[in-house]
Structures are given as structure tokens and as C-alpha cells.
Structure 1
Amino acid sequence: MRKKVVLVQDNKDILEIMDQVLVEEGFDVIASLTTDPIEKIDQIDPDLVVVDDYIKGRKKGSEVINALKSDPDTEEISAILTSTANNLPEIAEACKADDYIEKPFDLDYMVDVVKRNA
């Protein structure tokens, strides 16, 4: 069965590239430039969420992950935080993310991190 990934990124080009690569790797991807899919997390029931820390006009990705990890209904969903922030490891740890991907990133590395956490 294909693993389901919710992918939220602030950059359309990065979103499309990540989406394409993950689909080629056999994942079922729900890709979005907004956090809207997170609002439907119960219906989507993903194996993994990959969220950028900066989403234009929205809550930070770290806040989204913290909310998921603080809710007994969604705490088991794996979560990866992506960002260009220099202190990303600390941000990821503080919001209880399972892993993080620093931008810019190598696509093979991104796939490895997703596979490890899905």
C-alpha cells in the first residue's frame, strides 16, 4: 500500500519538484501551498506530513507540527519540518518534529528522510 504524504511548502517550484519526486518514489502526495490539508488531517489520514516553517499569511510550520503532536488523535503522524533557518534543528526539536530538512537540500537526501519517517 502506498504511503500517504501531506506536503506543504511556501514556494510553488519547490512544492512541484518535491511532489513529482515523491510520486516517482511511490508515495501518494497531497501537495499544497497552504495549510488547508492540515485542517482535513482526519479525512486524509496521512503517514507523514512535510511542512515548511514559513507559510505566507499562515501559522508557522513549527506551530502546525506542534499542534499535531499535542493532539492525541494526530500525535502518531510523522512530521518533518523544512526551512532555511540557521537554527532548524532547535526549532524542529522544540515543536516535536520527527525530523527536519534544511533548505536548500539534495533531492536524494529529501527522499531518504521521507522514506525513513513514512
Structure 2
Amino acid sequence: MNKKVVLIQDNEETLNIMDEVLEDEGFDVIPSLTTEPIEKIDEIDPDVVIVDDHIKGDKKGSQVIKELKSDPQTEEVSSVLTSTSYDLAKTAEECKADDYIEKPFDIDHMVEVVKKNAE
């Protein structure tokens, strides 16, 4: 069975590229430009959640991950923060993300991070 990835990005082009690459790698991707899939996280039951820190809506991606990690039902879900911000490593650590991907990202590196966290 394929690993499931919830992919939330702020930019449609980035979302489409990441979605396509990850699907080519054999992942089932649930792509979104909003945090809507997070509302249905129990139903979706993903292996990895990838969230951009600058998503549209009232919450930052780091806040979304912080909430996932502080809920006993979702704390086991691997969470990866993506962003162009220069202090991404620090932000990722603060929100307890399992990993992070700096943008602009190298496709091979992105795939590596997702595979590592999907295990």
C-alpha cells in the first residue's frame, strides 16, 4: 500500500510540482492550498504531513504542526515544514516538526526527506 502524504502549500505551482514528483515516487498525495485536510486528519490518516509556513488562512504552518504534535491522536504523524524563511531550522524545531525543507528546494532532497519521514 502506498504511503499517504498530505501536502499543503501556499503556491499552486509549487503544490503541483511537489504533488507530481511525489506521485511519481509512488506516494498517494492529498494536495491542498488550504489547511482543510488537517480538519480530516483522522479520516485521511497520512504517513507524512508537509505544510508550508506561509499558508493562506488564519494559521501559520508552524502553528498547524505544533497543534498536530500536541494532540495525542496526531503526535505520531510525521510533520515536515517548508518555507523560504532563513531561520526555518529554528522554526521547525520550535513547532516540533520532524523535518523541514527549505525553498527553493532541490527535488531529490525533497523526495529524500519525505521518504525518510514516511517510514
TM superposition score category, shorter chain reference: over 0.9
- Counting only pairs closer than 5 Å after superposition, residues 104-115 of structure 1 correspond to structure 2 as 104-115=104-115
Q: Which runs of 4+ in 1 moved over 2 A?
A: none
Q: What TM-score does the superposition give when structure 1 sets the normalisation length?
A: 0.99
Identity fraction in percent: 71
* Cα distance between partner residues in 2 of 1:89 and 1:67: 18
Unaligned runs of 5+ in 1: none
1:92 equivalent in structure 2: 92
Q: Which runs of 5+ in 2 are unaligned?
A: none
- 2:7 matched to which residue of 1? 7
Secondary structure of the 2:7 match is: strand
Residue 80 in structure 1 maps to residue 80 in structure 2: yes
Q: How does 1:1-118 map to 2 (within 5 A)?
A: 1-118=1-118
The aligned amino acid for 1:92 is A
TM-score norm. by structure 2 comes to 0.98
- Number of residue-to-residue matches in the alignment: 118
The offset of 1:56, in angstroms, is 1.8
SS at match of 2:68: helix
> 1:58 offset after TM fit, Å?
3.0
User: Matches of 2:79 and 2:105 in 1, distance apart?
Assistant: 17
Aligned equivalents of 2:36, 2:56: Cα separation in 1: 12
